Structure 1
Amino acid sequence: MESDVLECIQNMKLTTEEDEVMSIRSVRREKFLEEFSLSLIGRFLTSKQINLRAAKNLLRNMWKLGDDMKIIEVGEGLLVFKFLMESQLQWVWNNGPWCFDNLLLALQRWEKGMSVKSVTFLKQPFWIQVWGLPFDLINEEVGSDIGRSIGELVERPTQ
């Protein structure tokens, strides 16, 4: 039912009489742009429903941000994480990847002009575990070789 309504709305077209320019005031736009500049856009990589309230609470606790961060649902599974300081955003960005209920949270920096329809997650770092290696192959060099063979190896920033 909901998808039928959405499809109907997407297929609507304006008549020439209805096609008029709207003026939108930008009085406080600079303030909003500044707010969003300290934001990450995220989506849990799943097609199943998740408990967003629990996910938000867990992320706030893991990131130790409490009410210092706003999490806003903006549609189509997207979340906006608004931080108070650049250092908070950078800490979250640098210390991922993040998961909830074994679901990877894809993140990207907000950019001016982004909309729900334009957000794409083309690359996402994630941790891998390799089990059953011989003891003599359990070292950083072999780990790097395995990582490079899978894709681009991302080194975790030093604290």
Structure 2
Amino acid sequence: MNLLSSQVNQTEKPAITMNINPNVFIVPVDLCYEATRASQISLLIRLANPRRQNLRALVLFPWLWGMDNTVTGRVVDHGRAQFMFPSNEALQLVLRRGPWSFSEWMVAMEPWSPNITNECPTTVDFWVEIRDIPLQFLSAALVRFIAESLGHIVEFDEAAMGGNAVFQLVCIRWPLDVTLVFMREF
């Protein structure tokens, strides 16, 4: 009987409860400014297909960009990675050379800003060729209309219209959660 009661006592241990401390503490303003300064020249990246792309392997991305070890990457919250650049020029160079893919899938990129949401980045900028417009209809207005039907226009050089009648290049902002269509007829 004594053995049985000691076994019961061992199994009836009190449950441990974990509570969130309701007391709020104040972070010094100078630490907030320091953290903001450190992130000012950085880039956030979100994977198009997290099941097929390894976020931890993504932090090796600066090597693919041709950047040295002055660009550092880290995994951050909400399925994103952040890359810190030594200069704004280096960051802009990477953005201009995009769009980028990783493990055969696209990645969305957006420069860090103080009020960036947890969902960002959500788009990829693509250069799209608009071609085979019959000559009698070829105009900047028609090319713009077609481009706007595809998505938000990021860049369109209407001055280049006279130089090439075979195709027109327009940069479109494509939502990451929409399947990319490689050809569409109008």
- Structure-2 change in CA distance of 1:107 and 1:63 (3 Å): same
Q: Please, which of 83, 86, 98 is the counterpart of residue 85 of structure 2?
A: 83
Alpha-carbon offset, residue 154 of structure 1: 3.3
Deviations 1:129-154 (A, max 9, x none): 78xx87x89xxx89877544412333
Q: Please, which of 106, 109, 122 is the counterpart of residue 108 of structure 2?
A: 106
Once the two structures are superposed, the pairs formed by residues 73-152 of structure 1 within 5 Å of their partners are: 73-114=75-116, 118-127=118-127, 147-152=147-152
Alpha-carbon offset, residue 25 of structure 1: 3.0
Find the residue that maps to 1:155 and give its secondary structure.
strand
- Structure-2 change in CA distance of 1:55 and 1:79 (3 Å): closer
2:36 is matched with 33
Higher relative contact order (CA 8 A, sep 6+): 1
Find the residue that maps to 2:36 and give its secondary structure.
helix
Contact residue 99 and residue 126 of structure 2 kept, 8 A: yes
Equivalent AA in structure 2 for residue 55 of structure 1: L
Find the residue that maps to 2:22 and give its secondary structure.
coil
Equivalent AA in structure 2 for residue 36 of structure 1: S
- Structure-2 change in CA distance of 1:39 and 1:112 (3 Å): same
Q: Which has the larger radius of gyration?
A: 2
Q: Which moved more, 1:93-102 or 1:21-30?
A: 21-30
Contact residue 108 and residue 122 of structure 2 kept, 8 A: no
Please provide the CA RMSD for this pair. 3.5
Alpha-carbon offset, residue 120 of structure 1: 2.7
Deviations 1:25-58 (A, max 9, x none): 344332321110101111011141423454333x
Find the residue that maps to 2:59 and give its secondary structure.
helix
Contact residue 125 and residue 154 of structure 1 kept, 8 A: yes
- Structure-2 change in CA distance of 1:22 and 1:31 (3 Å): closer
TM-score, reference length from structure 1: 0.64
Find the residue that maps to 1:154 and give its secondary structure.
strand
Deviations 1:88-144 (A, max 9, x none): 1111122211111221111112121446xx3333543135578xx87x89xxx8987
TM-score, reference length from structure 2: 0.56
- 5+ residue gaps in structure 1? 1-11
- 5+ residue gaps in structure 2? 1-17, 158-186
Alpha-carbon offset, residue 83 of structure 1: 0.5
